[in-house]
Structure 1
Amino acid sequence: MSRCFVLPVVLMMLVAPLEAKSQAFSVEDGEGAEQSFQTLNVDGWISELSTFRIIHKSNAAGKSTLDILQIRQSRDNKSSEMALDTIMLKQIYSADKIISLKENFVDDPLIKNKLKEQGLEVKFTATGDDISIPSQPIVGAKLPDEVFSVNFEIEGVAASIDVTSSDRQILKKEKIKVPAGEFDTYLMEGNSLAKVSILFIKQTEKLFQKQWIVPGRGVVKSESYNKRGKKESITEMISYKN
Structure 2
Amino acid sequence: MRNYDFSPTLYDARLVFSNPMNGYASVGFSQQIIGRLDGMNEYGLVVGLHFVNNDYHGEGFIASTIVRILLEQCKNIEEALKLITELPHGYCYNYSMTDQSGQSIVVEASPHKQELRYENPLICTNHFQTTSMKEKNKKNIQGSVNRKHFINNLIEKNLTTIAAYRHFNNGNSPLFFKHYQQYFGTLHTVVYSPKLLEVIVGIGEDAEPITISFKDYLNEALTLPKKLKGWIDLNYKDGME
Task: Give TM-score, length-normalised by structure 1.
Answer: 0.32
Structure with the largest fraction of strand: 1
